[in-house]
Structure 1
Amino acid sequence: MGAEHLGQYNIHEVLPLPRTTLRSSYGILEGQITIAGDWDSPEVNDAITDDFYGTT
């Protein structure tokens, strides 16, 4: 198995990449995480901006 030369193109074998993480199931944290109702308020956005850039 190797590359075959076809004109100006090189054709290589494509292999799937191995999984790096094993997931036992999706939704494993369902019901354990809550998001505040004001998560997208201007005050929260200003606080996040200040954390990243030091300005509001």
Structure 2
Amino acid sequence: MGKASFDGGSCQRCCILCIRICLDFQLIVGVIFGSNSFAFSYSRYKKSDSSLKKLPE
């Protein structure tokens, strides 16, 4: 009876769930720790964009 819960289908479902949790965790960590670096790179991009506009044509 106990072996029925460990068939291929439920194992695959568990793996998919685990992968989804891991990806969500990486996304959350990336948002928490990467938000500052993203804002920094975005502000640098905006600065370079404005400096390009100041160049004479």
Q: Same fold (TM over 0.5)?
A: no
> Greater strand percent: which structure?
1
- The structure whose Rg is larger is 1
TM range (shorter): under 0.3
Q: Which has the higher helix share?
A: 2
Which protein, 1 or 2, shows the higher relative CO under an 8 Å CA cutoff with sep ≥ 6?
1
